[in-house]
Structure 1
């Protein structure tokens, strides 16, 4: 089954054997309106699993290890298909954890063959008829890879040899085996100190995860490790925050005393929501201070969790996070190390034991929170937004780049370069989350966070851009959104020059809406992340790839860029190449070659100014 979801972690459903692909919100509109949805045919990477996870190794460690092998770009334009005997002794939610974090290597999606664990999970969650149908399909040879299937790349992993990994900081692919992590901390000269432990969110928040963590909590309590002021008792007394994955998990944890076990050792069990993973964490301590946190989340981009760029955020399994939270030390290895108790005795954790599914079934919890499965349309409902609202505003259609105002015809209007972005630039850098999320419905206000944590390659400063045409009343430098506002006020179309894997991370529509709102017409990258590139196309921004990646460094702020060849492309010459003529601020002129991934339909979006404009015009013509 193919599933589209408006979240980059939609591949979580790969844990149930689905082909679940994350898309932007505008792509979802395509599916809802019957508009064809396009995807460039991906390569298939086969990942053969043998052996069995033992001890402290978990499915999270499998994907952390794989992220280290593939890097954040290694899955781009590829589907990860797992197979082999090692698949079949893992739980359904464990497979979902692996599929979920496949987004962090850029994979289009991840999927598994149908397993007995999936059948058990479907039955336990009230979907026994689906399980029976899947059994029948599997008996006929479906829901698994074809015999003798060939892959574009084959990776083999022996789960019996896998040890826990800790990844980070600031990128999910910097993987270090747990046995070497203490040495890594010492080599970097960092404090051997943990300031917070966080588990849960959309991954690693299953019943199996939470019961495994509760097992460690009970071991600690029995040994005499007690809480003080709702903080785990350690030498540093650090916060330990747990986020259940759903209302069903929250309610079942509460019923089965899992919540009690966690709270008795000082954990704070939060609401089942994105929470600190997406920056919804009002953290008062450690602000503007270098510190280290350990989470079982999927992403650890700079400033993501607490808004502090100096917080080093590391990723690990929930059980490793929990054990290290009791220790308070980054160098602590629960497999080999002990904790000194208040009595002076030594305490060593035993490998955690969790329960895949609750023996008495799940409880749904507060069903009033669940949406209606088949809501009745209410077309007569009037949407009223106060003019003075700071949270909501009506979106205005973006103007097409082409028309009487553009003397260049079907070439883009002449663009100025706003800035050259250095290094990693995720959708968190482009449109920060956390406290900014309250403005998601107000494009003018949320655009004030455009690229505020991005690094300008010309000078190396964060959130600094240059206006080389500034009037005497203005300074040459300002914040990035400040310079973008100036360009917009002058009706000056602009472009960004960006590095590899631009736009990795969340399927955040605002990361495309905001630059378009301020007047961006084109972004030229060494490479793009898939979802973000499509989101740019949807909003009428032309994404181009450098043919020669070294050309990135030849273009700077204030340079004038002109496209040549776009007119041929828009007129149906499919093989046309887009050349960029660069006029430097000193008058030097040269040309660079680019490539594109624009389809015929996507070119129609560009011509119309956005995909929504194009859809509207088709409806009006019908």
Structure 2
């Protein structure tokens, strides 16, 4: 590189012309992985100072060409994607930041998204009613009545903030709408202000971050994006770049083609198994090789969707003719499609030939060797062949010492049934992973039609759930003549949104719920998450699989079955019916895809997407600089993050004599930490709501109340499956109050500690914070007074979120742990002065002293997991929002 600025160039397509920043101007980019090519373009375009642009690009090239991770760079996404569970607290924070900005002498209108933000209300619908005609209308009515306060607030946000589009309830899930409608692969903006020649519109890569960990779904169509916490997304929306380390990039070389009957979900589960075993946490993954061309854009999107399940940041596919076909299919005009092709060719992101590019390592996946798969019973990377579900179930049952001969009598709709371990309580065709791929949904419809024709039906104790990812998906099933077959088996559309995957499965039938403590119930679902207790608090074992296999197992009613050799049931003719008898014909499936997956389908399916139903349209919201908080609201409350905050930076108070709020083992997920699912009647959040006149039936879910910090902090660490080693064997949101030696709720202990002026820490094992990017998994602990976490290792997003909330993440030295150091969690922890300016690859270490009750101490060192200097500034300011607010509130900002 030279010392001069890297100028933009002109790209001409037909008669149209754009300016763009060619990555080829930087030496060595021809060897970079596709994803790092996008990062180079991003820093060239967004860094105002020529020297900064050069330095950042050089960091990317040096690391990428060495197949290694590199130092800090700044990434400025082109847009942000929100779902409503994570979006509501973000806009609540924006609203309170406007007030705080004014109090600090700034202009509240500076608190405003600077880049396009799409928010889809898709996480609030619950399958309260399922398996019958009219269930969709009933669930939407219940959703609106429960969430009216939240929706009023969102309507205000839409009117009062710039660059915000909100999709009302009932349209679909954010990830499917993202690839069908929002994503453009190449975006066009205002002309390059640094151009010395004619002003032309600027073309650049479509990139995004999203407040849902499955944001990488869009990577399937060549859009680089990943999930972040709401805290990082807020900063990005406010114009702050996201600081990240140049990641290692793992290449997955695809060969072969899928065998008949093998679907994209099977590949996604194979990826999860293979890459989780390789260890790709913190890496980018991208696919190349001759097998890529055999996968449709939606098959790729399904694979990319499960990125969090194997722990990497994103899973990028290159752009090719299949991508362009999908863009045309979903309504992009020809000029836009032509720009995508020309731009991606010019920037080296075209086609799947990655053999000349440098990767940290290359993993070979032969698509022809992928087998029909499932995963479970509690981790998405525990893949197994579908034919081996019985074997896995029985192995798990043996480990848990379950009596497989046990039967409990249950009255189901007047009929006496006997249920045992492995009984399927929920069979859910869900919206996120698989509904993006028309082939899988049509296959499920064919299986259902064939089963209905044979006279089969799901067992009466199975709750059947169908949640299409968009109206286009349901319309496809209807046009293909397959919706009737699904409905005849009880698979009626009960909502357009994220349902079973996040615990919005709704109640089981009373009789099944009544025996949930006597037998281990199971669920089968076509989703991406199956952590214990997530799908339903009544269900212990959860198995992921294709929609077609969900339908098939609903007929069997148990996971203690061999689909390859045992019948699913007895047909109308009195003869046994096997899976092979109702399997979809690959030729018919191909014909239906060709005939019914059309541009007209997606045009009709998205019609009126932003309008909403009559209830949404009736909401009134006048734009204003600040929000009028309602003190009586139990959904949207003014949070206290900025209370007492001054314009000047105050010294960080040392952590001394701290008590442990919790002592946790390995693989504590954000589901364990963050409030999610139903609000248990015996926990502090329930007491809070009752005190404010909310009836138990109207508690709704934690997710729906994320705009109320009082509820959320009371639900932090309250997962019914959480095991806190300080709680004396009691599972759930309990701990030992170390000031009075009583077992109490974690919330009540935290309030006791706060009243006593006691510092609080959390101590944990490996992979602390695994799972989804949940900002409340960091916000909640911060409100409970947690000042530091000491763990053996962290999941990427959660560690970042802890920093974003001002919580210090510390990591035991390699080979050390709670057990090796002889800690039991009753110690008092003192943490030395922390160097917040170091960061990777040479992180600081800090001295920690743990004082036991007998006066002895365990002294050890911990790695300070503040990975970048920018993160250090966040910690100094008490969090990323405080940092942004102080910058924006200053007169010169």
| Shared fold, TM over 0.5 | yes
Match of 2:876 among 599, 603, 607: 607
- The equivalent residue for 2:455 is 224
- The answer on 1:246 being equivalent to 2:470 is yes
* Aligned pairs (5 A) from 1:278-293: 278-285=502-509, 286-287=512-513, 288-289=516-517, 290-293=520-523
Query: Is the contact between residue 331 and residue 602 of structure 2 (CA under 8 Å) also seen in structure 1?
Result: no
**Bigger RCO of structures 1 and 2 (CA < 8 A, at least 6 apart):** 2
Distance in 2 between the 1:41 and 1:378 partners?
Answer: 44
1:218–1:400 distance in 2 versus 1, CA, 3 Å: same
Distance in 2 between the 1:170 and 1:597 partners?
Answer: 29
1:133–1:333 distance in 2 versus 1, CA, 3 Å: farther
Distance in 2 between the 1:411 and 1:175 partners?
Answer: 46
C-alpha distance after superposition, 1:285-311 (max 9, x if no partner)? 333332111111100112111222x43
1:363–1:311 distance in 2 versus 1, CA, 3 Å: farther
Moved more, 535-544 or 587-596: 587-596
Distance in 2 between the 1:260 and 1:363 partners?
Answer: 23
Q: CA deviation at 1:371?
A: 7.1
- The answer on 1:433 being equivalent to 2:676 is yes
Query: Is the contact between residue 435 and residue 469 of structure 2 (CA under 8 Å) also seen in structure 1?
Result: yes
Match of 2:780 among 508, 514, 517: 514
1:571–1:321 distance in 2 versus 1, CA, 3 Å: closer
Query: Is the contact between residue 216 and residue 352 of structure 1 (CA under 8 Å) also seen in structure 2?
Result: no
* Aligned pairs (5 A) from 1:435-584: 435-453=701-719, 454-458=722-726, 459-463=728-732, 464-470=734-740, 476-553=742-819, 554-566=822-834, 568-569=835-836, 576-584=844-852
TM-score with structure 2 setting the length: 0.63
Q: CA deviation at 1:414?
A: 4.1
Distance in 2 between the 1:238 and 1:298 partners?
Answer: 20
Q: CA deviation at 1:595?
A: 1.4
- The equivalent residue for 2:660 is 417
Distance in 1 between the 2:359 and 2:800 partners?
Answer: 26
Distance in 1 between the 2:881 and 2:571 partners?
Answer: 62
Structure 2, unaligned stretches of length 5 or more? 1-204, 398-403, 405-420, 613-620, 678-700
Query: Is the contact between residue 15 and residue 99 of structure 1 (CA under 8 Å) also seen in structure 2?
Result: yes
Higher helix proportion (structure 1 or 2): 2
- The equivalent residue for 2:557 is 328
Structure 1, unaligned stretches of length 5 or more? 226-231
1:35–1:217 distance in 2 versus 1, CA, 3 Å: same
1:128–1:586 distance in 2 versus 1, CA, 3 Å: farther
Moved more, 313-322 or 9-18: 313-322
Distance in 2 between the 1:412 and 1:614 partners?
Answer: 21
- The equivalent residue for 1:143 is 350
Distance in 2 between the 1:570 and 1:366 partners?
Answer: 49
SS for the counterpart of 1:578 is: strand
Query: Is the contact between residue 212 and residue 319 of structure 1 (CA under 8 Å) also seen in structure 2?
Result: yes
Distance in 2 between the 1:163 and 1:400 partners?
Answer: 58
- The answer on 1:269 being equivalent to 2:473 is no
SS for the counterpart of 2:661 is: strand
- The equivalent residue for 2:631 is 387
Moved more, 38-47 or 592-601: 592-601
Distance in 1 between the 2:458 and 2:708 partners?
Answer: 43
Moved more, 577-586 or 243-252: 243-252
- The answer on 1:319 being equivalent to 2:587 is no
- The equivalent residue for 1:228 is none
Distance in 1 between the 2:573 and 2:641 partners?
Answer: 68
Distance in 2 between the 1:548 and 1:94 partners?
Answer: 39
Query: Is the contact between residue 665 and residue 766 of structure 2 (CA under 8 Å) also seen in structure 1?
Result: no
SS for the counterpart of 1:49 is: strand
Match of 2:310 among 89, 105, 112: 105
Distance in 2 between the 1:269 and 1:572 partners?
Answer: 49
Q: CA deviation at 1:379?
A: 5.7
Moved more, 261-270 or 244-253: 244-253
Query: Is the contact between residue 764 and residue 791 of structure 2 (CA under 8 Å) also seen in structure 1?
Result: yes
- The answer on 1:123 being equivalent to 2:338 is no
SS for the counterpart of 2:711 is: helix
Q: CA deviation at 1:27?
A: 1.1
C-alpha distance after superposition, 1:490-544 (max 9, x if no partner)? 2322100112111122211111111100101001111111111111111110111
SS for the counterpart of 1:396 is: coil
Number of residues of Structure 1 aligned to a counterpart in Structure 2: 604
Moved more, 575-584 or 240-249: 575-584
Match of 1:345 among 563, 575, 580: 575
1:87–1:511 distance in 2 versus 1, CA, 3 Å: same
- The answer on 1:592 being equivalent to 2:798 is no
Q: CA deviation at 1:184?
A: 2.5
Q: CA deviation at 1:23?
A: 0.8
SS for the counterpart of 1:103 is: helix
Query: Is the contact between residue 402 and residue 409 of structure 1 (CA under 8 Å) also seen in structure 2?
Result: no
Query: Is the contact between residue 431 and residue 511 of structure 1 (CA under 8 Å) also seen in structure 2?
Result: yes
Distance in 2 between the 1:562 and 1:403 partners?
Answer: 29
Query: Is the contact between residue 658 and residue 761 of structure 2 (CA under 8 Å) also seen in structure 1?
Result: yes
Q: CA deviation at 1:256?
A: 4.5
